[in-house]
Amino acid sequence: MNRSTAFVYGSELRGNGNASTTDVIVGITLFSVAFVAVILGVVNLYFLKKVKMFHNPFGWFWASRTVGEMLTEMVHLLYNGPVTILQLQSINVWQGITPYLVLFIGSVSACQMHTVIAVNRCIAIYSPLRYGQVFSKRVSYAVIAFSWIGCVFLAPWFFVFPCNLVGYDPQFYSYIFIKCYAGQERQFSYVGTAVNVFCFIICSSTVLVDISTLSRIIYVQKSAFQNVVMLMSVSTFVYQNYQNPPKGKIVDIVQILSIMTSHIANPLSLILFNPEVRGRIGRSIGTTVVSSTHGQQVASL
């Protein structure tokens, strides 16, 4: 579809009707990375439930962030990836913006929980005697509930303020501002811009909080790459800022893959750097190998 012809509202959300090799490669990449992120999220939730050391505010916050990241990646898995591969032209405005709103709720909630986790660790290190008071069960649940309810409350503001909708553009592999009329000069969403800046600020504050904690615990030193990846991904969103027309396919691909990479880095940090989780995985692999060897020996008798 040639977008340079007569204006069609929501045309940014439609494919070109003829998928190129690049479209297929990018779509498969989005699908595959999202699939890995969802699987790692499921593994995280399993260990958060099974390992008693995570039955505390830290574990609850981590679980909430994981759910938010999984919700985001489910959108990439079920919508963005397939739509990029197929380049469908029959997508209407509601079909295009609904996945973004789901992604918006999940990603912003996960962003907030990322900061809460950093503050949680900081207080545990610097003020352990007050930790139980600050992060009681009631307070922790309230923080999680506020995070999700707040994001659900924010989503309708894309509609409250006229001409601020955002959706996924399968031709440029990017989230893009939906223009409302032909010749519109504004190229971005005010609401989307405000949210991007908000997430950038809280992610930056997370880095500062963790820097103050770095020298105190090895775990934070090992998992510091989470903050780097998260800050880089949010920075690309601020730079791209849902521009319509987009700034270029390379920038757009980096934007969407950076946020997906952060959703892989976060669950991986729990699996790779937590000794209790590593130990359980090692014992599980060892048990599987022993059982397999024993079965082969019995079969050979």
The predicted structure's pLDDT at residue 199: 84
Locus of tokens 């849902």: 242
What are the residue ranges spanned by the domains of the chain?
11-274
- In the chain, the largest separation of any two C-alpha atoms, in whole Å, equals 81
The one-letter amino acid code at 132 reads G
Q: Kindly compute the dihedral angle of the four CA atoms of residues 60, 66, 71, 76, in this order, to the nearest 10 degrees.
A: 180
Q: Which of 116, 125, 132 is CA-nearest to residue 60?
A: 116
Do 166 and 176 contact (CB within 8 A), yes or no? yes
Averaged pLDDT, 166-180: 90
**List of residues 6+ apart from 101 with CB closer than 8 A:** 155, 158
Q: Which of 51-55, 58-62, 93-97, 132-136 has the highest average model confidence (pLDDT)?
A: 58-62
pLDDT at 221 over 70: no
How does residue 279 score in pLDDT terms, banded at 50, 70 and 90? confident
Averaged pLDDT, 245-254: 68
Instruction: Report the mean per-residue pLDDT for the chain.
Output: 83
What is the per-residue pLDDT across 151-163, written as a single tens digit (0 to 9) for each?
A: 999 999 999 999 9
pLDDT at 227 over 70: no
Whole-structure pTM value: 0.83
Is the pLDDT higher at 289 or at 49? 49
Look at residue 114 and give its three-state secondary structure.
Answer: helix
Token pair listed for 159: 């509609």
Averaged pLDDT, 248-255: 71
Q: Where are the alpha helices (DSSP H) in 127-189?
A: 128-134, 137-154, 157-160
Cα–Cα distances (Å) from 293 to 68, 135, 212, 280, 299, in that order, read: 40, 47, 49, 20, 10
At residue 175, φ and ψ (nearest 5 deg) are -85, 130
Q: Which of 206, 204, 261 is CA-nearest to residue 69?
A: 261
Do 91 and 11 contact (CB within 8 A), yes or no? no
Q: Which of 143, 124, 5 is CA-nearest to residue 53?
A: 124
Averaged pLDDT, 260-282: 77
CATH class of 11-274: mainly alpha
Q: Which of 31-35, 40-44, 70-74, 217-221 has the least mean pLDDT?
A: 217-221
pLDDT at 262 over 80: no
Is the pLDDT higher at 187 or at 6? 187
Do 234 and 193 contact (CB within 8 A), yes or no? no
Q: Which of 95, 98, 103, 78 is CA-nearest to residue 27?
A: 78
Do 58 and 132 contact (CB within 8 A), yes or no? no
How does residue 210 score in pLDDT terms, banded at 50, 70 and 90? confident
Look at residue 176 and give its three-state secondary structure.
Answer: strand
Is the pLDDT higher at 276 or at 81? 81
The predicted structure's pLDDT at residue 164: 92
The predicted structure's pLDDT at residue 298: 44
Q: Could you give the count of Cα atoms lying within 13 Å of 102 in the half-sphere of its Cβ?
A: 19
Token pair listed for 1: 């579809």
pLDDT at 228 over 60: yes
Q: Kindly compute the dihedral angle of the four CA atoms of residues 142, 143, 147, 153, in this order, to the nearest 10 degrees.
A: 40
pLDDT at 222 over 60: no
Q: Is 241 left (phi over 0), alpha (psi -120 to 50) or beta?
A: left
